[in-house]
Amino acid sequence: MIAAALTAVLALGMLTACEWPRRLFDGAVEAGLEGSFYSVPTPMPSGAPGDIVRSEPITSAPDGVDAYRVVYHSTDLNGQDILVSGVVAVPQGPAPDGGRTVIAWGHPTTGSMGRCAPSVGIDPFDLIEGFADLIARGYAVAYTDYSGMGLPGENAYLVGSTEGRNVLDSVRAAQQLGVGASERVAFWGHSQGGHAVLFAAQLADEYAPELQVEAIAVAAPAVDLGELLDADIDDISGVSIAAYAFDAYTSVYADTPGVTLESILVPDAVDVVPQMAKLCLLGQNSQLHALGEPYIEGEFLIADPATTQPWADLLQANTPGGVKLGVPLFVAQGATDTLVRPELTARFVAGQQALGTAVDSIVIPGTGHGLVALRAMPELLPWLDAHAPAGAAR
């Protein structure tokens, strides 16, 4: 594996007139060695949520950044101790008095299996929307891969309580590294990551009361799961997301009577969904589409999960919202998003405003699902400066 990674770097170096991009070279070496990092110790050590079991510096981090891969304790929706992986990054140099505010980032859908995790591979910072700007402002950035990604474990795709706890415990892990991460936290998530950080915000007071949550920001968040599935099930993106979710739910809620793929899917799809769930959204797109495309345009479901029990109750239980958020909320939505539809996000925003949450909401013209978080940064960054500054001073 190491030799293959280095061969790729050598080839790139030849194509770039023998220039040796430090980050790519270091990242290729790390990618070749990281397999053992993502193994689960036997027996699993005991620890409190957020306790670090294993950490390693990331030598391929951008200039001016100190970063670490971490394996840390978290819990699932039933409160069981689990291990998850993630990344913590901070600006080099001493932290300000009072420490750095932590941006807890929730990553968008990349898949649901171990190798699909953002921390795995050559560039574990590539997907973090606004990473360079956040570091330049002095924030610490922490993210979780979520349960079942990176490390072996139970798939937690769109399982809100597990995702949210994994996010909160990534902040605790950052504090343990001794890199100046404070108890102050702002959440930032895109798509599935928006779903995860909204659950983290809802769980924070009870699960992590020592953390000082200052702000929540989301871009095209997965909010009403039943409506989201109904809106998207007739295209390949919807079938892919549904496959990840249905595979996760049949595992996580296996003890709930009636949670079977046979209760909602056409017979052929029952065998295909577990195959799709093993593929990453990035890098295995062609295989994912080849499996899913025969089931688009109404050939996937025999019953609507949003109205079929117990699926309907599970989707509702894993839909964020319905409670007032005690800190300011920023919501960005792309006007031409065909995955998380603008009307679903608008309904979520209206619901939060009705509950009394302080919401700043923007709709970005000519923007679909993939670019909305990046295009929101010019408005999000000053918003964060106002509501969750990187240092202690306001």
Alpha carbon distance 241, 109 (integer Å) = 8
Verify that 247 and 348 share a domain, yes or no.
Answer: no
Q: Which long-range contacts (CB under 8 A, 24 or more apart) does 353-358 make?
A: 355/322, 355/323, 355/324, 355/325, 356/324, 357/324, 357/325, 357/329, 358/327, 358/328, 358/329
Of 206, 124, 199, which is closest to residue 166 (Cα–Cα)? 199
Of 217, 199, 240, which is closest to residue 129 (Cα–Cα)? 217
Verify that 248 and 154 share a domain, yes or no.
Answer: no
Verify that 214 and 231 share a domain, yes or no.
Answer: no
> Residue with structure tokens 């013209």?
365
Does residue 255 lie in a domain region?
A: yes
Strands (E), the chain: 52-57, 65-75, 81-91, 100-106, 140-144, 181-190, 212-219, 329-334, 359-364
DSSP H helical ranges for 46-159? 131-137
What pLDDT shows up at residue 233? 85
Checking if the pLDDT of 393 tops 70, the result is no
Copy the structure tokens of residue 44: 């699993």
Of 86, 106, 104, 70, which is closest to residue 184 (Cα–Cα)? 104
| Confidence category of residue 4, pLDDT binned at 50, 70, 90 | very low
- Is there a contact between 333 and 364 (Cβ–Cβ < 8 Å)? yes
> Which residues, 6+ apart, have CB-to-CB distance to 42 below 8 Å?
none
Verify that 252 and 270 share a domain, yes or no.
Answer: yes
Mean pLDDT of 216-237: 92
Verify that 93 and 236 share a domain, yes or no.
Answer: no
Verify that 204 and 232 share a domain, yes or no.
Answer: no
Checking if the pLDDT of 140 tops 90, the result is yes
| Confidence category of residue 21, pLDDT binned at 50, 70, 90 | low
Checking if the pLDDT of 11 tops 70, the result is no
Does residue 7 lie in a domain region?
A: yes
Number of domains in the chain: 3
What pLDDT shows up at residue 116? 93
Mean pLDDT of 14-18: 40
Verify that 77 and 210 share a domain, yes or no.
Answer: yes
What pLDDT shows up at residue 10? 37
Q: Phi, psi at residue 174, to the nearest 5°?
A: -60, -40
Does residue 394 lie in a domain region?
A: no
CATH of the domain at 120: 3.40.50.1820
Does residue 393 lie in a domain region?
A: no
Domain boundary among 259, 291, 317: 317
Checking if the pLDDT of 83 tops 90, the result is yes
Checking if the pLDDT of 247 tops 60, the result is yes
Verify that 60 and 176 share a domain, yes or no.
Answer: yes
What pLDDT shows up at residue 392? 66
Verify that 66 and 185 share a domain, yes or no.
Answer: yes
Verify that 219 and 229 share a domain, yes or no.
Answer: no
pLDDT tens-digit series, residues 94-128? 999 999 999 999 999 999 988 899 999 888 999 99
What pLDDT shows up at residue 326? 95
> Which residues, 6+ apart, have CB-to-CB distance to 7 below 8 Å?
none
What pLDDT shows up at residue 34? 52
Enclosing domain of residue 62: 46-223+320-387
Of 265, 226, 220, 225, which is closest to residue 247 (Cα–Cα)? 265
Verify that 325 and 277 share a domain, yes or no.
Answer: no
Alpha carbon distance 68, 34 (integer Å) = 12
Checking if the pLDDT of 30 tops 70, the result is no
In eight-state DSSP terms, residue 388 is S
Alpha carbon distance 71, 52 (integer Å) = 6
| Confidence category of residue 53, pLDDT binned at 50, 70, 90 | very high
Q: Phi, psi at residue 95, to the nearest 5°?
A: -75, 155
Verify that 121 and 205 share a domain, yes or no.
Answer: yes
